Structure 1
């Protein structure tokens, strides 16, 4: 590995020295010819207008060997989007997720996050045809981290060919940057913009970018150099309502009804900085050419949140006699009370989260082209790292009642003057809890590939290509231990035990460091909610010192009550943080061969390629296996025998080796110069994310027993386990077929249709499997372990339709009008290999969420039916009205997708809240049921716009606007009473003013 890196550095320095020497003797030229791209590769076309950009993208799609959709630089610049993620959603078959993280649906992302292609999230990312990724435990880029100003174009490949790097079952997104030889000579431009966000009134966010490029003819060949820099800020605010899951209760008339334990509101201030630097050097002379590129992307994010949330016991909730219910028994309107707890208990937290990420890519390319031979070698090193800190400090308050109206588009929480006064009084609040989380991750990869091509002088055979690729990659991710360290300061359930009362703010010993937060302009002025007392942000940011001071309040109250209580311990990485450390390494070796052919003399010419790629993967994971037992030992034991297994924690290394053959076929039939059809068949794979490969497993032995007169009777023994990951996972694979019809009726006009079918195998799901351990006598015992396995198969099949046209024949100014429209339909199915191992919902004496059904469990202990693949919308479409005439260029674009499954058992929609408080019950003091609800993003559409005016060939002014209709994003939670509203997010409109100048 070290020698590999030294070789890359040495070659890069030699390349740079050669180019700088040429530049010193250079003479500027403005008529240098453009470099010719290798056959079969997308051609980088420089365009100056929106219509020309569409022509360029259409030409790439028409001439490509594979099924590909493209966006070129000028088109990208004209889109009313502020990130690469948002740009991608305009492409047919591509959708984006609008939550900040896959496992955290409570936080909305204005610019979007994860990308799915044809309903599948198995998406590979590339930078200039080379592997690229972020250090987040996954295998692809966080596209939101990449400055769009550095990107010259985007290609979205929907079916693979043998020469493409493996790993894209859903699709491949290749980000292309500009090269010096893309321009005839000197090129320079600068741009600046500022963005105004409606909910952050009075605050704007600036952005800047600049590019300079030139090429020279020198005695040692032609040399080119390019530098591109970008900086941008974004500040947004998101307001949200949330409704808790519905629980089975009995109303005043004795009917079984379903009532949430409360509803709540929150607001989140989001700020990010994104920096990018890109540099490229090129050289060519005679049969030789070479390039060296450097790409750096930095992303800094911080968000601060004030949230109030219900934390009462759901089964103690009472609903008023005048409450109304829907056909399934779900609450519509009514007042909630909790007499058993003295009121409805709420938490009021201030949360701050920070993340810093950066990705650095250094790549060197050398090409020799002579006669029929082309040999290309490519060396790349990429390094990505990230770290984050997530901190929450909370107060608590008891509300005597909460009146809800859940009949409208957005829930209404109705407050009396007494309610508002109660929430505004700091004396009613107590210090509740703290929670912190830290993580850091670093990933490195060195890759080397060599490709050879031989061009045939033959009526059928075009060329043959073959090559190899070697990679060496490592990734280490560390989460703090505990991962999310929730720790009570004072909680109602502690009163009467260690402490006599809570740490109320009215007590001078515990007062201060709070503020009364008024939710101004909440939901863009559409809703009025009361002010709430929150901890100061400085407490959340002051970890660990501020935390330690807060937890001293508990010590004071313990001492006051004559008790000695344990000290608070902060989360940390620690040398023995086995559960929080995921250490992975992976090497791959790939070889391929591909033949391109064509029959031009046929009535309907046919061309295409056929190939085979072979790849071998060798991965290693360093992990731990931990066993503990709470079963009784010693004394007199009768009943079910208890396996005698000694507790242990041992280091364990895993080796996982597998290989795959990936054939592919791409055919194109030209019915006319304008009408063509494609057929593609291929095998593809997507390797597991590194987060899924963690090698940490905990195994537990518990016993249900009773002791009478010194004799312990064991009724049952439970052997269970939980795997944080599974280092022996195989890749998810697919066999896929595509059919397309493409009609290009003008330079910027086309109508295309595609039918696709992907049959998936070895889908990774969290399910149960057997782990064996020997007892002291050598007998093996089965532990039913829950973790990720290759446990399902399925399919994703559907249709894509796309149309674009400018109406040139309209009179006068109307001839600048155009339209773009596309529609995607995807049907999916997921089927378990071993339904016998599928867990059922937990009931009775358990608080183990690992026992939950894969498809989720309702709050009444019942299961749900089969769920579709995650992040897949059955329908999505884009509709854009274009205008491009003279100095004016404008676009009005609407993007829509139908509802999609987000996840099961995610934050906020899982728990074990069924605590039995009836002393006469056989399960008194125990959790009656564990539950986890599937969450869905509801159908969502957003209208964006842009308009640009060119004062001259050099100066352009533009306006971009996002979310013109102030759309509300809604999240659903699936229950057996229906798809219930879980959360509503409002972000307001954003407007950007942009000025650019070309030298």
Structure 2
């Protein structure tokens, strides 16, 4: 509580005294209306953003003049910090919390909700997978002109995000006249892998006069990024009750340890091209194509040492496995939580893993805009397709350790093996071999039309109408393989190598570093050759039960009125409704079974079932949704304004949740499945924002929000079902959860122009967000906060810009948050897992060498944030993880 109080006091004091802000980052783009059809028209095109000060001023103007509660970031701001992808660029916006993947920004939550819709230039975009979202880390930041975060919807925004909408704006050739050549060349050093990788970008744009009034523009841009990465991880196993550790006492002991060292390389490619043609100022035609390619080549090596008796079956006639050594257990004071313990005869495994992911996204669009008198018309057609692939291959060595010693009180938790040579192939048998390959593909075809008609009235200013037809498909095909060879590993020594990542946590002696692992290059390049060398005849195969195809069509239309009143009370805003019909066709397979003759005649002769084949599953469903929205702004003075908004929003179920695939285990009479009949999540939303603008770059604000969400999707058993004459207990996802999210944001920004000389170049931005949530869970009678949501978070940025020098230092902090709830199935009950608070520090420096060339130096994760989790209470530790520090240096140029 003292930490929260200090954070609140510190941020509030800074906001009041210094007038700091970190909400609005933006550039010259229309924010008065949400993006419609192809683009979001720029305003104030004459303004040239030449530095942070200008971009903050432009962003503040956009926030101040918008119909809705919108925050933005522009290319100038993105370029001044080491944000290499879109997700990282969003982390400094108030109300947004960013999840990280191997030290890079990945998914986001807006005001506590991860159900965020992503659009690109106003068009829905996605990355193929079992979800609906777009992988924001696929897009290189250099290709982005701006990012707009819509925290309140309006009728002309595409539906689908109860958390909000993020619109990624790319550059357009007619935004800047004449020939433009700009780019960057940088090198990035990552300290854990101790490697340097390149980053480069290039933009070419030109415009021409066509006829007396016409103009033509063509733009091509591209970016290439590589990053070597490293992650050290020590994951303490989930706690379980044991009565064999201390005589006469039941204690809570961790289930051993999982210790992977992770390293690899990521490559990110982005390409964008656009043609704009304006035969006259009132008519525009355009065509655009965008491409993103992201792959992550990852290797993992480590030890897996479970210690619970269920993981340690004792061989017939042999010594007891995972046997606690008397007198070695030490409990945390005042608890029954084991902190130190030793075991005898512990089975363990070493593993070598190749884990690679590939994303490829393509977007194509064309359209026209026509302004004729009081009418403003636009038409846009677009096509997107995406592929997402996961390749996971693993081969284990198995052994039995005479003794292991565990100590979770040290900074890096200890798990040491003794009594066995981990570098002698004769110490091992061949363990399990695994191959998982997931192939997702998706397509989206859409057409959208929008019309706005100006009205001369003292109150009503325009009526807007529009439609959108979208046709989306997603397909999934899994390949699976799992076999355990067994037997001595010595004849297959050529398949194993010394652990190449043996410097975890800077060579910490708390964990074993030197041991044999599978050769990752052979697993990646010649899996079948390894399988054949081991003498395993079974081949990897497509799993028919996992295959599914989903075809979704949406038909949307909206009507919206914009109003303005300049009487005694100055107000403006919009009110409207969006109506959508969603139609789904879901196709998949399920297994069929028959009882074996002669079985099931008595309790001593239980029924035995044999799979006889597969039966198709084909489900059609549809529903209609109406989404009203209202946004109103009161101009209390020239500098002070109040915004109020009320709306409803939906997010449709993820494709993986809709999948009809049904997995059955006849002997156990259990099964699991998706649910094609799921309904969308619904949210009732209320928002308010009070904003005070005291200078072109100075403002303070306070915003409050409330979300009531119905039909969260949770998986649980829904009773018995009879399939092919067999009664099963089936676990399915269902719309069974409700939740409430409420909170507030405060922030501000200013430059200290009143200071003399060089000191006038200093500025500051800050924001603080409080989010309180409570939702039902799949565990009966148990409610909890939303997972991965910190109740308290803040951003503070110090800025300096004077003459040729520009510098920033930015700190992002998150309070502890729930990562999940474990149903232990034992007397320990259901318990939560939390991640402790952490901060993330970035900094940048740029110096203009000439008017055309700027030197840049940037650093990310400079304090090396740690992941430190615990189960329910801090004395039950979870995982301890660290990612690399990154430093980038290079040049930006404009010719």
TM-score by length of 2: 0.89
Partner of 1:961: 859
Structure 2: distance between partners of 1:39 and 1:761? 31
Shift of 1:982: 1.6
Deviation of the 1:317 alpha carbon: 3.4
536, 539, 544: which one aligns with 1:570 = 539
The 1:791–1:782 alpha-carbon spacing in structure 2 relative to 1, beyond 3 Å, is farther
- Preserved contact between residue 524 and residue 986 of structure 1 (Cα < 8 Å): no
For residues 377 and 703 of structure 2, the distance between their equivalents in structure 1, rounded to whole angstroms, comes to 35
Structure 1: which 5+ runs fail to align?
A: 1-33, 100-108, 491-501, 553-566, 703-717, 833-853, 856-862, 913-927
Q: Within 5 Å, which residues of 2 pair with 1:888-903?
A: 888-903=805-820
- Aligned mates of 1:993, 1:223 — CA distance in 2: 36
Indicate whether 1:689 and 2:587 are aligned. Answer: no
The structure-2 alpha-carbon separation of the partners of 1:597 and 1:645, relative to structure 1 and needing over 3 Å to count, comes to farther
Paired position in structure 2 for 1:438 = 437
Taking the TM superposition and a 5 Å limit, the aligned residue runs for 1:397-546 are: 397-413=399-415, 422-480=421-479, 482=480, 485-490=481-486, 502-505=487-490, 509-517=491-499, 519-525=501-507, 527=509, 529-546=512-529
- Give 5+ residue unaligned stretches, structure 2: 1-26, 35-39, 311-321
- Does the 8 A contact of 1:670 with 1:677 survive in 2? yes
Matched, 1:277 2:271: yes
SS in 1 for 2:104: coil
Q: 1:968 to 1:772 in 2, by over 3 A?
A: closer
State the Cα distance separating 1:155 from its structure 2 match: 0.4
Deviation at 1:644, TM superposition (A): 12
Distance 2:603 2:432 in 1: 43
What is the aligned partner in structure 1 of residue 16 from structure 2? none
- Is the 1:90–1:878 Cα contact (8 Å) retained in structure 2? yes
The verdict on how the C-alpha distance between 1:826 and 1:321 changes in structure 2, with shifts beyond 3 A counting, is: same
2:635 is aligned to 670
Relative to structure 1, is the Cα distance of residues 504 and 294 closer, same or farther in structure 2, using a 3 angstrom cutoff?
Answer: closer
User: Per the alignment, in what secondary structure is the counterpart of residue 532 of structure 2?
Assistant: helix
Equivalent position of 1:121 in the other structure: 114
Match of 2:558 in 1: 592
Which residue does the alignment assign to 1:737?
Answer: 686
Residue 752 (structure 1) shift: 1.2
State the Cα distance separating 1:266 from its structure 2 match. Answer: 2.3
Counterparts of residues 306-321 of structure 1 (less than 5 Å): 306-314=301-309, 316-321=322-327
User: Which whole-Å CA distance do the structure 2 matches of 1:431 and 1:152 have between them?
Assistant: 53
* Higher RCO, Cα 8 Å, sep 6+: 2
1:294 corresponding residue in structure 2: 289
Deviation at 1:933, TM superposition (A): 6.3
Q: How does 1:5-20 map to 2 (within 5 A)?
A: none
In structure 1, the residue matched to 2:736 is 791
Which digits, 9 at most, give the CA deviation of each residue in 1:314-360, with x for residues without a partner? 364304404310233111123x223xxxx212111110112221111
Matching of residue 346 in structure 1 with residue 348 in structure 2: yes
- Match for residue 756 of structure 1 among 695, 700, 705: 705
- Following the alignment from structure 1 to structure 2, what is the Cα–Cα distance between the partners of residues 967 and 281? 44
When structure 1 is superposed on structure 2, of 66-75 and 277-286 the one drifting more is: 277-286
- Separation (CA, whole Å) in 2 of partners of 1:223 and 1:979: 66
SS at match of 2:784: coil
- Structure 1 residue 527: Cα displacement: 4.8
- Note the 1:599-618 alignment, pairs <5 A: 599-602=565-568, 604-618=569-583
The superposition leaves residues 672-703 of structure 1 with CA deviations (integer Å, 9 ceiling, x where unpaired) of 1211110000010001111111012245555x
- CA displacement, residues 153-176 of structure 1 (integer Å, 9 cap, x when unaligned): 000001110010001100111000
Q: State TM-score, norm by structure 1.
A: 0.80
Q: Secondary structure at the match of 1:424?
A: coil
Q: How far apart are the structure 1 equivalents of 2:68 and 2:600? A: 73
How far apart, in 2, do the equivalents of 1:966 and 1:38 lie? 37
State the partner residue of 2:199.
Answer: 207
The structure with the largest strand share of the pair is 2
CA 1:438–1:743 in structure 2 vs 1: closer, same or farther (change >3 Å)? same
Shift of 1:270: 2.3
Equivalent residue runs for 1:31-46 within 5 Å: 40=33, 43=42, 46=48
Equivalent position to 1:722, from 672, 680, 685: 672
Are the aligned partners of 2:262 and 2:501 in contact in 1 as well (CA < 8 Å)?
A: no
SS at match of 2:864: coil
Q: Distance in 2 between matches of 1:820 and 1:874?
A: 21
Once residues 31 and 261 of structure 2 are traced to their aligned partners in structure 1, the CA distance between those partners, rounded to angstroms, is 52
Provide the rounded CA distance (Å) in 1 between the counterparts of 2:555 and 2:143: 31
Cα distance in 2 for partners of 1:297, 1:647 equals: 44
Task: Kindly report which structure 2 residues correspond to 1:812-961, keeping only aligned pairs within 5 A, or say none.
Answer: 812-831=757-776, 854-855=778-779, 865-904=782-821, 934-961=832-859
In 2, the alpha carbon distance for the partners of 1:640 and 1:317 equals 36
d(CA) in 2 for partners of 1:993, 1:762: 48
Distance 2:119 2:351 in 1: 40
User: What CA distance in whole angstroms lies between the structure 2 residues aligned with 1:35 and 1:539?
Assistant: 52
Determine if contact 1:935/1:972 at 8 Å carries over to the other structure.
Answer: yes
Aligned match of 1:746: 695
1:807-831: per-residue Cα shift (whole Å, max 9, x none)? 1112221111111111111111113
Query: Structure 1 pair 633/731, CA: closer, same or farther in 2 (3 Å)?
Result: farther
Is 2:220–2:272's contact at 8 Å kept on the other side of the alignment? Answer: yes
1:190 corresponds in structure 2 to 183
Give how far 1:720 is off.
4.0
Distance in 2, matches of 1:371 and 1:83, equals 41
Q: Counterpart in 1 of 2:9?
A: none
User: 1:630 Cα shift?
Assistant: 6.4
Which residue of structure 1 lines up, in the alignment, with residue 338 of structure 2? 331
- Higher-Rg structure is 1
Maintained 8 Å contact 2:103/2:884: no
Shift of 1:605: 0.7
Contact 1:311 1:347 in 2 (8 A): no
CA-CA distance at 1:984 after TM superposition: 1.1
How far has the Cα of 1:985 moved from its partner?
A: 1.2
Give the CA deviation at 1:645.
13
Which of 393-402 and 55-64 deviates more? 393-402
* Conserved 8 A contact 2:846-2:855: yes
Could you say if the C-alpha distance between residues 658 and 264 of structure 1 is closer, same or farther in structure 2, counting changes exceeding 3 Å?
closer
CA contact (8 A) 1:801 1:823 kept: yes
Distance in 1, matches of 2:284 and 2:519, equals 59
Distance 2:860 2:623 in 1: 46
* Superposition map of 1:548-559 within 5 A: 548-552=531-535
User: Does 522-531 or 295-304 show the bigger shift?
Assistant: 522-531
Tell me, yes or no, if the aligned pair for 2:422 and 2:515 is still in contact at 8 Å.
yes
- Judge conservation of contact 2:285–2:368 (CA < 8 Å) in 1: yes
Seen in structure 2, the aligned counterparts of structure 1 residues 731 and 184 have a Cα distance that, compared at 3 Å, is: same
Aligned residues: 844
CA deviation string 1:268-290 (max 9, x = no partner): 11211111110111111233111
1:154 to 135, 147, 153: 147
Q: Is the 8 A contact 2:658 2:677 kept in 1?
A: yes
- Deviation track 1:209-253 (CA, whole Å, cap 9, x = no partner) reads 011111111128211111111111011111111211222223244
**Structure 1 pair 329/894, CA: closer, same or farther in 2 (3 Å)?**
same
Equivalent position of 1:848 in the other structure: none
Q: Give, in angstroms, the shift of residue 75 of structure 1.
A: 0.7
